[in-house]
Structure 1
Amino acid sequence: MPLSAAQTIPRKISPSLGAAHGSVHVPKTGPLFRRFLSFAGPGYLVATGYMDPGNWATALAGGSKFGMALLFVAVLSSLMAIVLQALSARLAFATGHDLAQNCGQAFPRPVRLVFWLIMELAIVATDLAEVIGTAIGLELLTGLPLGAGVILTSLDALLILAFTRFGFRKLEAFVVTLLILIASCFAIELVLARPDMADVAKALLPTRDLITNPAMLYIALGILGATVMPHNLYLHSGIVLTRAVGPSHAEKSSAIRFAILDSTIALLFALLINGSILILAAAAFHAHGHPEVAELPDAYRLIAPLLGSALAAKLFAIALIACGLNSTLTATLAGQIVMEGFINIKLNPVARRLLTRLVAIVPAVGVILIGGASATNGLLVLSQVVLSLTLPFAVVPLVWFTASRKRMGRLKAPLATTGIAAVIGVAIIALNTKLVLDAIAG
C-alpha cells in the first residue's frame, strides 16, 4: 500500500510563506470553470520569471546577431518549462510540501547547505538582472541616472510589504495586470515592426549552427537560463500550496490537474512575449543591418527611427520597468521558500528583499563605476548563463522526487513524463558542460 504524505515526511515542517499557506479557498463543488479560477494565479507568478530583464538581454543579443534562428530555442525552452513546472505542482500537492522542504527531508545537512547556497546564487543572479533592467528602464523613460536608478530599486521592498498586508490574491492580480501591460506593449511593437511570418515559421525548426557555433550556443544557453529558471521550480511548488486543498486522493488529483492547466496556459502566454522580444530584435535590428545591438539602451535609441514611431521606444521602456517590478515580487517569494525549506530560517519578507537586493546592487554599481553603463549588458547575459548552470540543482531532485512512489504514493508522475523530464535534465547538463569546455578552450 502506498505511503501517505504524512508517512513519507515524518517530522513536522512549518508551512512556507506563513499566513499565505492555504489562504485561498477552493470550492469542492460547482462549475468546473469556477473551480479552475480558484487555482488560476500561481502559474502567472511563475511565468513572470520567464520574461525578466535578463531575458530581454539574451533575446536582444540573439535576435539582432542571429536573426530568428534562436526562436526554436525559445520555444523548446518553454516546452521544457511546462513539463518541469507541472512536476513542481505535482510534488507540492502529493506531499503537502514544496521542493525545498522535500530536499530538506531527503538530504543530509552538508548537501542541504550546498543546494541552498547554489539556489541563493541563482536568486541573486535573477535579482541582478532585475536591478540593472529596471534601472535602465527608468533611465530611458525618465532620464534618471543609471546609478541612482539601481539604488532606487531597493525601495521595491515597500511593494513587498504592501502585498504582504493585502493578501496573496491581490499580489496575483497585480502581476497579471502588469503581464497584460507588457503583452500589449509588444503587440503594438510587432505591428510596427511587420516581421516576415515565413521567416518566423522557418525559425521554429532547429539549426545545426546551434551546436557548431560557440557564440550562438552561449546566447542559446542564456535564453535557456532565462526561460527555465531554477528558482521558479522551488517557487511554484511553494505558491500552489496557498490553495486550501483537502487531504483526499481525489482532491489532490483534481488540484494537480488544475494547477498544471494554470501553469501551462501562463507559460504559453510567456512564450508569446519571449518570442515577441526575439522576433522584434530580428525584425528591427538584424534585418536592418544592426547585428550587434545587444544592449537595452541601444535598442531603445534605435527602435524608434527603425520602426518609424517614437511610441515604440516608450513602450519598450514601460514594458522593461513592468518586467522588473513583476520579477521583484516572485524572486522575493522564491527566496523565502528556499531559505525556509533548506535551512529552516524564517525572515521577514521586507528584510529578505533588502538583503538580496543589497547583494545584487554591489556588483551592479561596481560595474557601472568601473566599466560604465555599456558594461551592464554583459553582466545581464552572464546572469542568465549563471541561472542555466545552476538549473540541474533544481531539475535533478525534482525529477527524482516525483518519480518516487514512496514519496508521492499514487500521485507519482507517469513514467512517460518522468522519462521526458529526465531527458530534459540530461540535455541541460550536457549543454552546460559544453559551455564550460568552450569557455576553457577560449
Structure 2
Amino acid sequence: MNERVAQEPRRVADRAADRGERRLGGTLRAPRTLVPALLAAIAYVDPGNFGVNITSGAEHDYGLVWVVVFASCSAMVIQYLAAKLGMVTGKSLAEHSAERFPGVGRLLLWAQAELVVIMTDLAEIVGGAIALRLLFGMPLMAGAVCVTLFSLVVLALKVRGRSHFDSVVLVLLVVIIGSLVWQVTVADVDSAGLLRSLVPGPLDGSAALLAVGIVGATVMPHALHFHSAASRGHDDGAPAPSQAERLRSGRRTVHSVVIAMTIAGFANVSLVVFAAALPTTAGASIETAYAALGASAGDIAATMLAVALLASGLASTLVGVQTGDVVMQGFGRRPISPLLRRLFAVVPALVILGLGVEPTDALVWSQVVLSFALPGTLVPLLVFTRDRRLMGVLANHRVTTAAATLITAVIVGLCAYLVVSGA
C-alpha cells in the first residue's frame, strides 16, 4: 500500500510528460514546447525593439509595419528550426556548429556568436538604464551599472531548477505585453492606414537603416542559440521516442512557436502604432517619445511605457545570461570564469554610455549589427535541420528549406541595400 502511494506522484508526473506538458513554477502546467518558445520570444521584445520600432513609428508613421510583419513571420520559421534542432538532437546550435565546422570555422562562428551576445547585452543594459532614468531620474551610467549588477547577481545565484527562471521571465513578459496593449488602447489608431501599411513600400532615407534594425531586433541571432538549448530534452533513461511521437512533438513545436511569435509580433506592431500617433520629433529618442506620450496621453501612459521598457531590459538580461552560457559551452573548449565572461560582454555598453553616445542611437545601431550577423547563424541552422541523417523524420521539408533560404536571402539583400545606398 505504501509503495502504491509513493509511486502515485511519479505516475502523475509520467502522465504529464506523456501529454507533452511541464510544470511551471511548480504549480501551473504548460505544453513542454510552449515555455521555451515564450522564453525565446523575450528576445523579440527587448529594448532594441523599443528603440527601432518607436523611432520607425514616429518618423515614418505606419510605413515600416510591413517590415515588422515580415520579420515576425520569418521568426516563426527560424525559431521552429532552432527548437526542433535541440529537441531532436539534444544539442544546441552552438554545439553542432563547433562539431561540424572545426578549426577556423569554429573560431569564426564563435566570434560571431560572441559579437551577437555583446550587441544584445548592449541593448539590454542601455534600455534598462533609459527606463531607470525615466522612472527614477537615475543617471544613465548608474542605471547601466544597476542592470549589470542585476545580471551578475543572477549569474552568481545560479537558480537551481529552470522552473523559477521560467516563471520570473514569463511574468516580465506579461508585464511587457500588458503595458504595450495599454499604449494601443490610448493611441489614436488609423485602422485603414494600418491595413495599407501591410503592403511593402520603398525604403528611402533613414527607412532603410530602420528596416535593417527592425529585422535584427526581431529575428534575433542569440534567440536561435537560446531556443535550441532550451528545447533540448533530458536523458532520463526513457526509451527513444517513436517516429509517431517525434511527429507529434514537431506539431506541438510548430503550434508553440506560432503562438509565441504572434505575441511578440503584436508587441512590436504595437510599438510602431502608438509611436505613429506621436509628433515626428518624438522619434529622436525614447526619452522624447516618453515626453510626447505623457503630453498627449497622460502620465500613466508614459509611465507604463517606461515600466515595459524596464521589464524588457531585465527579462532580456536573464535570457542573455543563459545565452552567454550556451554559446560558451557550445564553442568553448577551455572553461572561462562566468563572471569574467559576463564582464567582458557588458564592458562595451558601459564604454558607449561613458562616451556620451545617444542611447537610442546605440540601441538602433546594435540591432543593425545583429542583422549583419544573422546569416552566420541562419546558414548553419539551415544546414543542420535539412540533414536527414541528423534530424530523421523531422528533417526540413523542401518547402521549409525554401522558405528559410528565401528569408536568409531577403535579410542579406536588405543589409546589402543599406551598404550600397549609404543610408
The normalised TM-score by structure 1 is: 0.86
Distance in 2 (alpha carbons) for counterparts of 1:163 and 1:26 = 32
Partner of 1:316: 305
Distance in 1 (alpha carbons) for counterparts of 2:395 and 2:272 = 37
Is 1:389 aligned with 2:372? yes
Contact 1:127 1:360 in 2 (8 A): yes
Distance in 2 (alpha carbons) for counterparts of 1:182 and 1:291 = 25
- Structure 1, 254-263 or 345-354: larger mean CA deviation: 345-354
Structure 2 residue runs of 5 or longer lacking an equivalent are 1-12, 24-28
1:305 to 292, 295, 313: 295
1:406 to 365, 389, 393: 389
Alpha carbons of structure 1 residues 381 and 33: separation in structure 2 relative to 1, 3 Å: closer
Paired AA for residue 182 in structure 2: I
CA deviation string 1:33-89 (max 9, x = no partner): 998623321111111001111111111111011101111110110000000010111
The normalised TM-score by structure 2 is: 0.89
1:249 to 234, 239, 242: 242
Distance in 1 (alpha carbons) for counterparts of 2:157 and 2:30 = 23
Is 1:104 aligned with 2:104? no
Tell me how large the CA RMSD over aligned residues is.
Answer: 2.3
Alpha carbons of structure 1 residues 156 and 345: separation in structure 2 relative to 1, 3 Å: farther
Alpha carbons of structure 1 residues 279 and 25: separation in structure 2 relative to 1, 3 Å: farther
Partner of 2:211: 220
Q: How many residues align?
A: 403
2:255 to 257, 261, 273: 261
2:200 to 192, 198, 206: 206
Alpha carbons of structure 1 residues 283 and 405: separation in structure 2 relative to 1, 3 Å: same
Distance in 2 (alpha carbons) for counterparts of 1:218 and 1:201 = 23
Alpha carbons of structure 1 residues 233 and 31: separation in structure 2 relative to 1, 3 Å: closer
Paired AA for residue 298 in structure 1: T
Q: For 1:110-129, list aligned pairs within 5 A.
A: 110-129=104-123
Alpha carbons of structure 1 residues 194 and 422: separation in structure 2 relative to 1, 3 Å: same
Distance in 2 (alpha carbons) for counterparts of 1:346 and 1:249 = 36
Is 1:182 aligned with 2:176? yes
Q: For 1:324-363, list aligned pairs within 5 A.
A: 324-347=313-336, 349-363=338-352
Contact 1:125 1:383 in 2 (8 A): yes
- Deviation, structure 1 residue 165: 2.2
Partner of 1:433: 416
What percent of counterpart residues are identical?
Answer: 34
Contact 2:84 2:231 in 1 (8 A): no
Distance in 2 (alpha carbons) for counterparts of 1:98 and 1:239 = 8
- Deviation, structure 1 residue 217: 1.2
CA deviation string 1:163-218 (max 9, x = no partner): 632421111111111111111112222121131111111112211x12xx142111
CA deviation string 1:90-142 (max 9, x = no partner): 21222221111111111021111111111111111111111111001001100
Contact 2:89 2:390 in 1 (8 A): yes
Alpha carbons of structure 1 residues 397 and 57: separation in structure 2 relative to 1, 3 Å: same
- Deviation, structure 1 residue 220: 0.6
Structure 1 residue runs of 5 or longer lacking an equivalent are 1-23
Distance in 2 (alpha carbons) for counterparts of 1:429 and 1:26 = 46
Contact 1:60 1:294 in 2 (8 A): no
